Structure 1
Amino acid sequence: MKRIAIFADVQNIYYTSRQAYGKQFNYRKLWKKIEAQGEITHAFAYAIDKGDNQQKKFQDVLKHLGFEVKLKPYIQRSDGSAKGDWDVGITIDVMEVAKQVDTVILLTGDGDFAILLDKVKQSFGAETEAYGVPQLTAKSLIDSCTVFNPINNDLLL
């Protein structure tokens, strides 16, 4: 049975799904779809913690599905901008887990991860998949993965 690891860039998926479709991403449907392909041995969801109840409920749903939820505090800068980036954390986790699985699945549209997926294929021989909103996913990410899965209505609430 194929061993699969999932890495979800929660903020990226939330904002791109909302921007493109005005809807929320359905992690339950995603889980069922991936589970049909093999055994999910690792699943991480990376999010920013603003401490509100709605967010807490969403994180509980992710945990119930089987995700380990990793949180960073929401940081508001003095100029009004915000910081909450998980790129380095996701990269470290992918590199640690990739040697233990057959497939690495990344949920993001962020082109910064293209080099990571290339490295995973080259160093570990793992298949790489990405899920992203097609019109908001970097071409470099789409080109770097073994399989690109477009997020469309069948994965939305």
Structure 2
Amino acid sequence: MFYRDERLALFIDGSNLYAAAKALGFDIDYKLLRQEFMRRGKLLRAFYYTALLENDEYSPIRPLVDWLNYNGFNMVTKPAKEFTDSMGRRKIKGNMDIELAVDAMELAPHVDHIVIFSGDGDFRPLVESLQRQGVRVSVVSTIRSQPPMIADELRRQADNFIELEELKDVVGRPPRENYDGPETEMQPE
């Protein structure tokens, strides 16, 4: 539930949202996503969090990061760490949970409603703390993938759960074949 006069902020866990949309068979059109939430309330900020490999000459997520940066999103990035797992596979790690939580806590006194695009159960204490400050919290993820992409404890704590698949007609677009997305940069936790 949204109110037209409430002050909104969006907090997007990039790799988590990408993985959820991919599991549902679509990509996110971020221009449409921003417009949709501007329609739902007074959108003050839209944050997008992702880790980036700095030593790669070309990162598949770089065009998205640049576009978001020029189109009304506050980009929060940090260097990802690269390692080889026990099977010899190249893995990328870059958790942005702390950055998202700190920014949400700092913005809380200035907003009425925060929308978190993530299913990560680590955000449950953040949601609880925001609620104690009088902020309503909605969480966008999916229970319609196998396995579900949202932690049960996060879904229960949120004031509202928004099923990502139900936003598909509003903010979705067909997946691009040649784009691997942020999950090539890092694996959601």
Normalized against structure 2, the TM-score is what?
A: 0.76
Bigger CA radius of gyration = 2
Deviation of 1:43 after TM superposition, in Å, equals 1.6
**CA distance, structure 2, for counterparts of residue 66 and residue 93 of structure 1:** 17
Deviation of 1:39 after TM superposition, in Å, equals 1.3
Aligned to 1:22: 25
Aligned to 1:136: 149
- Paired residues of 1:72 and 1:84 also in contact (CA < 8 A): yes
**CA distance, structure 2, for counterparts of residue 12 and residue 53 of structure 1:** 18
Where structure 1 has 5 or more consecutive residues not aligned to the other structure, the ranges are none
**CA distance, structure 1, for counterparts of residue 153 and residue 163 of structure 2:** 15
- Counterpart amino acid of 1:85? N
SS in 2 for 1:45: strand
Aligned to 1:34: 37
Aligned to 2:50: 47
**CA distance, structure 1, for counterparts of residue 28 and residue 82 of structure 2:** 26
- Paired residues of 2:34 and 2:46 also in contact (CA < 8 A): no
CA RMSD for the aligned pairs? 1.6
**CA distance, structure 2, for counterparts of residue 22 and residue 74 of structure 1:** 26
Aligned to 2:160: 147
1:76 pairs, out of 73, 82, 85, with: 82
Deviation of 1:78 after TM superposition, in Å, equals 4.6
**Alignment identity in percent?**
26
- Paired residues of 1:31 and 1:65 also in contact (CA < 8 A): no
Going from structure 1 to structure 2, the CA distance change for 1:82 and 1:60 (only over 3 Å counts) comes to closer
Aligned length: 155
Normalized against structure 1, the TM-score is what?
A: 0.90
SS in 1 for 2:21: helix
Aligned to 1:108: 118
Comparing both structures, which one devotes a greater share of its residues to helix? Answer: 1
- Counterpart amino acid of 2:163? P
Deviation of 1:75 after TM superposition, in Å, equals 1.1
**CA distance, structure 2, for counterparts of residue 36 and residue 151 of structure 1:** 17
**CA distance, structure 2, for counterparts of residue 13 and residue 89 of structure 1:** 16
The 4+ residue runs of structure 1 with deviation greater than 3 A are 78-81
- Counterpart amino acid of 1:25? I
**CA distance, structure 2, for counterparts of residue 71 and residue 143 of structure 1:** 29
Aligned to 1:95: 105
**CA distance, structure 2, for counterparts of residue 99 and residue 61 of structure 1:** 29
**CA distance, structure 1, for counterparts of residue 137 and residue 92 of structure 2:** 31
Deviation of 1:28 after TM superposition, in Å, equals 2.1
- Counterpart amino acid of 1:9? D
- Paired residues of 1:4 and 1:102 also in contact (CA < 8 A): yes
Aligned to 1:156: 172
- Paired residues of 2:12 and 2:117 also in contact (CA < 8 A): yes
